[in-house]
Structure 1
Amino acid sequence: MDSTEDEASVFRALADPTRRQILEDLREGELAAGEIASRFTISAPSVSRHLGVLKSAGLVRERRDANRILYSLVEERLATCVGRFLSAVCPDQIVLRHTRRRTAAETEGDPS
């Protein structure tokens, strides 16, 4: 798999709101598959498929602990892929310029 296709798998994984929620849930630390599934109204097999997509994209890792499968976020993978994309389409100076403008506008509008 080339790097373009590899990064595309990350964005395909991020396209689904359930998978994004799983990633958010994992930001506090690892969770068992059952704990993750209990947070959703969809079936456990559906959650398992979502976890498989996230694992294939390299966004989560799993480890076995006795009869449980624990999942954790691969923060560096997420940050690298999304960061590379953002720096290509939205260079830092553009982000900083917009932030400065927004801060200045908020300050001007602040009566205190």
Structure 2
Amino acid sequence: MGMQDTLRALADPTRREILNLLKKSRLSAGEIGDHFSISGAAVSRHLSVLKEADLIRDEREGKFIYYELNTTVLEEIMLWITELKGGNDHDQTT
């Protein structure tokens, strides 16, 4: 899994919206599904793609699985994009 998986996962608007939901709090698949008019299987597939890209983590509690954002990968992407566009603006303050 690498940058290609991450960018592929981020390319889908439904997956980006799932990430927006998870930035507020951790949620179960059912709670995530309540925000969309798609099947539970489709929600599950989106969660699987996000998990494979390491953008989210899951934790089982009883019969529920809760999902939360993995900010480490997002920070790596932001760093890469910053470097790509020309580095850190603070370096030019002389």
TM-score normalised by structure 2 residue count? 0.88
- Indicate conservation of the 8 Å contact 2:6/2:55, yes or no: yes
Work out which of the residue numbers 34, 42, 46 in structure 2 matches 1:38: 34
CA offset digits 1:12-68 (Å, max 9, x no partner): 000000000000000012101100011000111001000000000000000101000
Mark the CA change 1:93 to 1:57 in structure 2 (over 3 Å): closer, same or farther.
Answer: closer
Q: Shift in Å at residue 79 of structure 1?
A: 1.5
Q: Name the larger-Rg structure.
A: 1
Amino acid corresponding to residue 12 of structure 1 in structure 2: R
1:1-112 superposed matches below 5 A: 6-84=2-80, 86-92=81-87
Identify which of structures 1 and 2 has the higher relative contact order when contacts are C-alpha pairs closer than 8 Å and 6+ apart: 2
CA RMSD in angstroms comes to 2.0
Specify every segment of 5 or more residues in structure 2 that has no aligned partner in the other structure, as ranges: none
TM-score normalised to structure 1 length: 0.74
Paired with 2:8 and 2:44, the residues of 1 have a C-alpha distance of 16
Deviation of the 1:81 alpha carbon? 2.1
Larger fraction in helix? 1
Aligned partners of 2:33 and 2:8: how far apart in 1? 21
User: 2:79 and 2:4 mapped to 1: Cα distance?
Assistant: 14
What is the distance in 1 between the residues matched to 2:17 and 2:66? 16
Q: Could you tell me the percent identity over the aligned residues?
A: 40
